Structure 1
Amino acid sequence: MAQARLASCVPLPVDHKTLVNVIEKAKDWALMHGVGMRDRKQFSKDAIQIAPFVLLPSPFPRTEFNKAVELQPILNELMHKVAHDDEFLQHTLQNALQVDEFTANLYDIWVKVRDEGISQPVSLGMLRSDIMLESRCPHTENQCAKHTPYCSWKQVEINSIASGFGHLGPVSREIQSYILRQLGHGDLIKHMPENRALSGLCGGIIEAYDMYGVPSAVVLFVVEEVSYNICDQRFHEFEISEKRPDIQIFRKTLNEIYEETDLNDKKQLVLDGRPVAVVYYRSGYEPAQYPSQREWDARLRVERSNAIKCPSIHYQLAGTKKVQQALAAPGVLEKFMGPGGATSRVRDIFAGLYSLDFDENGERAVEMALADAERFVLKPQREGGGNNIYGPEIRDALTRMRHSRERAAYILMERILPPLVQGYVVRPGAPVPPPISDLVSELGIFGVIIGSKEKILHNKQVGHMLRTKLADANEGGVAAGLGALDSPYLLDL
């Protein structure tokens, strides 16, 4: 079927003079409220530019949004159980470990700290479940209880490390609310759901800090050598400092952690003479962030400590693509969740996911992809955007590695075809006004979970974010410059 289409919340096109005026106002509003990033081409710590944003909020069905919000605590608990199942992680990752050095290094650290004896059984999970509406309904009108251009949303992935946009998600609603008021459509703001992601995520860090129970302790943010997405990171610090002025926050790279921290005889990670209560990773999710052995040694030191990690290394392993694919296999969800309605609800959100291991199922998946590459996405064990393979490149990649063990480090996923909506994308340095473009969106739902293998102490959904991209673009990461900030406009269909 053809790709479905949803209508913009405001009739388009907007009058040229009005459009130019409101964009100029919105760009200034963005710079003055932290809707910004550092320029990758002309980097300066003294300057930020606007982050790309969609002028008007994008339509999203209210029933599907509510379903995603309600399901997030269930997904939190599922990920928590997966992260604490050593046998499942080992079995699921065994083939990828032989060909993916990065995943193998993470796993080796996990084995070392597990065999030594885990110093801190409590983990902090700040997760983001990314979803897209599926506009290809497999049902006929008579089969579907409420036939619309889609049947439901499907999960793209769950992010377990550096799940960003806790600030940029909520502030997207604020800038689009400002724009709607300037356009004389302030009455539409009530259809944009409240978003407290920043408060909820920072509340998780604060709760973990209090669980650690050492008043002199500090919080450590692990960051890249160069942070382009600085506003999103800093606003987490500002929020914590405002709520809890007694909590001191340090920002350190893995290399600085190697040079400036120690483990004492209590297994405390000591920085500047004070124990670290919580380690929050905004880096450490891709190979380039470990350029030498020093970074790996720093990661091992953190994992050996009794600091509460977000994420602990087994949580990061639970967020890999191979685990995502394994969870979709028959009977696996039941192992973690038991039979019942919750299991069925989670299974319904999975897109088709296929292993590329060297067995009958893997060969069948390769044949499917070679026969109709446009139906699929080829995903490696990587986070951070820009890593997936699409279209004809899938055929090229699988032809090249069909008889190589390298293919076991990938999974094959059915491509989701979301509905289109027309809109304006405002980008730094681009001509004003931008053209009307066909757009597609990806919704991220944030969850916070704290607990040990034996007991979950805290579990809730805390907010959302929406990323939107041009309909003909494959990748949609805002930090990578491919997507744009957005927020949902809920429709009653």
Structure 2
Amino acid sequence: MSPSTLPSWPPSLSAEQHEYLLLLASTYALSHGFILLPPKSSSPPTHTFAAPLSLFPTPFPRQLYDFAREIQPIYNALYARVALDWEFLDRVMGGSVSKVDTFQGELWRGWRQVREELVQPIQLGIFRSDYLLHSTSTKSDMELKQVEFNTIAASFGALSQRAGEMHRYLASATDQYFGVSSYLEEESSYPHNESLEQIGAGLAEGFKAYGKKDAAVLFVVQDGERNVFDQRWLEYELLERHGIRVIRHTFSELANLAQIDRTTKTLLLPSPFLPNAAPTEIAVIYYRSAYTPSDYPSSSEWTTRLLLERSRAIKCPSMALQLAGAKKIQQVLCEPGVLEDFLLSEDRPDVGFGHGSGSLSQADVDKLRETWIGLWPMDDSEYGREAYHLATTQPERFVLKPQREGGGNNIYRTDIPSALEALAKADRAPGEPEKKEGYILMELITPPQGLHNWLVKGGESKARKADVVSELGVYGVMLFGDEEVVLNRGAGTLLRTKGRESDEGGVAIGKFCLCEICVPFG
């Protein structure tokens, strides 16, 4: 059983201890690359600051932490099977969502345009399943509830590992945090997290599956990226541990550089710095952009995305796997019988655990459903009409989610009725569904009360004590084809902690802090 309450936190420090701890944390972060670029940074950059951090690790129930890690390979297998089911993707994403959501519509139509031309059956997924603790007055124990499943640009794997290393250093340098709490004195309070190494190893496995030692990995990145060090650590990991070179380009740069060999469909990139050198062959395309409409300011970016999709390079993710991560897919999977069909049907491709580690079972289905909370469509179905009634009569219980990644797009609580009213008044083309059908309704997860921590916003030299909410992310890596699994495993964890007053936020804008997990109880 998981605990019903979290321990009193954080432990008390003297003013001198607090200042010393803040100094140690800040200097460790700066000297170990646990950093971000400031807004509007110069090129090349001349200044950085420590990534948002917490002075203490954050307590999390051991049983639920272990459970989240245990089920990650099942989630990996589920979303791989979704990506391979073209008929399902067409029905769900090619329906009303593609008609009312311009971005998802472009993604689905682009994928449909090129999918019969695809020459690379292998797909690489670097996933992250995000959870919150859920505690209600009607239940004595905390539960683990999934917020979302990310199939593209699942970030902070490298910096999360650095956060854990920082907290282990702080414990060592302060005699286990000055001996102020028994929770900080056990080795198990600082679980080893090797998300950087494991995500890097997943990219290396994709490179190996491609089979060309003189090829490279392409990172497709955003202009003005502030979270560049999280990406650079992966680049250095690939080069130093695996001997794999990384090339970084934005969509706008690739529009002028990317070439595909007409015969082999090999993706080739000439060097803008060595015009007489032979172009570099690309084995794996790893997207750290391409997940938001602002990444496609013109038709040129979509043209480039389709060019890359047609190539023989292994995509991380493919367009199909990106579509599988949409909020609408998450909602439909919750409908009766859908999850069972994907995990238990004998007609599905044998994309399970891989390496002969066993098939999927009813127990696996039950474990995933245990992490779900109420999800409804916003269409004219029976479920959709129920959702509309709930959203307009009990809005304080819900969040309205569009098909977007990256945070900052959701509509919460009492803002929902007016938002639905505005969507109903929005202009529609003849035959176009209502705009609300591009959204899903999700029951709000209720994090337990009373947990605090000292948070340090990036670029600031002081900490503030805040009532906090922590979101656990579990990374997964999966390399799979139409009929086989090469690799399926968990790949470390991420804990992001923010002040309870903030519904939305991100690490890069200072609302979330990166923490190591403290799991000494339960």
- The alignment's TM-score, normalised by the length of structure 2, stands at 0.88
- CA deviations over 1:111-163 (Å, ceiling 9, x no partner): 122133x2101000000000111011644xxxxxxx43x1x200000100000
Q: For residues 215 and 41 of structure 1, do their structure 2 counterparts lie closer, same or farther at Cα, with a shift above 3 Å needed?
A: closer
Whichever residue aligns with residue 281 of structure 1, its letter is Y
Deviation at 1:277, TM superposition (A): 0.2
- CA deviations over 1:386-428 (Å, ceiling 9, x no partner): 1111122212211222466111111011111112411100123
- Residue 109 of structure 1: aligned partner: 110
- Residue 164 of structure 2: aligned partner: 173
- CA deviations over 1:275-330 (Å, ceiling 9, x no partner): 11000000000000111111111100000001000001100000000000000011
- Selected match of 1:277 from 283, 297, 303: 283
Deviation at 1:10, TM superposition (A): 5.1
- Residue 520 of structure 2: aligned partner: 491
The CA RMSD measured in Å over matched residues stands at 1.6
For the 8 Å contact 2:222–2:250, the answer to whether it is kept is: yes
Whichever residue aligns with residue 225 of structure 1, its letter is D
- Residue 136 of structure 1: aligned partner: 136
Name which of structure 1's ranges 16-25 and 158-167 shifts more when overlaid on structure 2: 16-25
Equivalent runs, 1:279-318 vs 2, <5 Å: 279-318=285-324
* Identity among equivalent pairs (%): 39
Whichever residue aligns with residue 392 of structure 1, its letter is T
**In 1: Cα distance, 2:112 partner to 2:187 partner:** 50
Name which of structure 1's ranges 391-400 and 380-389 shifts more when overlaid on structure 2: 391-400
SS of equivalent residue, structure 1 residue 464: strand
Question: Is 1:329 aligned to 2:335, yes or no?
Answer: yes
For the 8 Å contact 1:8–1:423, the answer to whether it is kept is: no
SS of equivalent residue, structure 2 residue 478: strand
**In 2: Cα distance, 1:122 partner to 1:160 partner:** 15
**In 1: Cα distance, 2:137 partner to 2:85 partner:** 35
Deviation at 1:214, TM superposition (A): 1.4
Equivalent runs, 1:212-251 vs 2, <5 Å: 212-245=210-243, 247-251=244-248
- Residue 502 of structure 2: aligned partner: 473
For the 8 Å contact 1:278–1:309, the answer to whether it is kept is: yes
Equivalent runs, 1:148-159 vs 2, <5 Å: 148=141, 150=142, 152-159=143-150
For the 8 Å contact 1:130–1:155, the answer to whether it is kept is: yes
Whichever residue aligns with residue 97 of structure 1, its letter is S
SS of equivalent residue, structure 1 residue 491: coil
- Selected match of 1:457 from 481, 486, 491: 486
**In 2: Cα distance, 1:454 partner to 1:407 partner:** 37
Name which of structure 1's ranges 435-444 and 123-132 shifts more when overlaid on structure 2: 435-444
Whichever residue aligns with residue 76 of structure 1, its letter is N
- Residue 197 of structure 1: aligned partner: 195
Deviation at 1:482, TM superposition (A): 1.4
Deviation at 1:436, TM superposition (A): 1.9
Deviation at 1:274, TM superposition (A): 2.0
- Selected match of 1:383 from 387, 405, 410: 405
Deviation at 1:371, TM superposition (A): 1.3
Q: For residues 43 and 426 of structure 1, do their structure 2 counterparts lie closer, same or farther at Cα, with a shift above 3 Å needed?
A: farther
**In 2: Cα distance, 1:223 partner to 1:311 partner:** 14
Whichever residue aligns with residue 465 of structure 1, its letter is L
- CA deviations over 1:79-121 (Å, ceiling 9, x no partner): 00001101111111211000111111111121122133x2101
Deviation at 1:437, TM superposition (A): 1.3
SS of equivalent residue, structure 2 residue 71: helix
**In 1: Cα distance, 2:283 partner to 2:478 partner:** 17
Whichever residue aligns with residue 388 of structure 1, its letter is N
**In 2: Cα distance, 1:390 partner to 1:5 partner:** 26
**In 2: Cα distance, 1:460 partner to 1:62 partner:** 20
- Residue 154 of structure 2: aligned partner: 163
The runs of at least 4 aligned residues of structure 1 exceeding 3 Å deviation read 41-44, 428-431
Q: For residues 340 and 364 of structure 1, do their structure 2 counterparts lie closer, same or farther at Cα, with a shift above 3 Å needed?
A: same
- CA deviations over 1:419-460 (Å, ceiling 9, x no partner): 24111001234352x332100100000000001121111100
- Residue 354 of structure 2: aligned partner: none
- Selected match of 1:444 from 473, 480, 501: 473
- Residue 142 of structure 1: aligned partner: none
- Residue 347 of structure 1: aligned partner: 369
For the 8 Å contact 2:10–2:452, the answer to whether it is kept is: no
